[in-house]
Amino acid sequence: MKRVLPALLASFLLFAGCGDDGDGGGGAGKPASGNDPNLVVCIGDSLTAGINCEGAPYPSRLAGMCGKTVLNLGVGGVSSAYGRSHVGEATSRRPGYVCILYGTNDPGHHVEPSETAANVRAIVAACKAAGCVPIVGTPPPTIEPHWNNNSGLSEIAEALRAVAREEGAALVDLHAAFSGEPARYLNPADGLHFSDAGGDLVARKFDSKL
């Protein structure tokens, strides 16, 4: 009996930690048999594309961390509605995983948090239907001169946490991860895009779900 209890405890801790580094949401899960588990597609706006970010875009960093092929389909300036209408460009490649990072531009496009949530929910559904594993990222906060977007970004982050929870999707909570010291993780030139440390953090957070 003494030997059984430690084994059971170890088993419990192993499964409790699988696919979750404190972000919440569901575990990443496994792609369908017809999808390539060694292919990851990253979709999003300029934060994914790497525009005005210091150093390499986060998908390039992610590739070096996970040892998988990572495609960067980020497009600067777009909202979550763009992601919803173009998700087929990602799923048609039959990747194992799709990293989703939209919402930063939505306040500027006058997109309500509920609409952002609906768009990302549709992206998650499309990924699941195509046998891909969706990983939902929340948009990080900003600093000056973009600090005025933070109220909307906070609401969007909360809405996307609910989407991940309700859809059983893996969650990368960048909004929470950046909130402690946003100035460290954001490019001081614009207060919106990633610094070198920020790009590395984002890659590590997504890597934790693969």
In a domain, 111, yes or no: yes
In a domain, 15, yes or no: no
In a domain, 19, yes or no: no
In a domain, 5, yes or no: no
Find the domain containing 196 and state its range. Answer: 27-207
How many domains does the chain divide into?
A: 1
For residue 172, give the CATH number of its domain: 3.40.50.1110
In a domain, 6, yes or no: no
Please say if the pLDDT value at position 6 is more than 50.
no
Please say if the pLDDT value at position 7 is more than 70.
no
Mean per-residue pLDDT for 120-148?
93
Listed in sequence order, the residues at least 6 apart from 148 whose beta carbon sits closer than 8 Å to its beta carbon are none
Q: Are 75 and 101 in contact (CB under 8 A)?
A: no
Please say if the pLDDT value at position 147 is more than 80.
no
In a domain, 79, yes or no: yes
pLDDT tens track for 82-92: 999 999 999 99
SS3 call for 93: coil
What is the separation of C-alpha 167 from the centre of its chain, rounded to a whole number of angstroms? 15
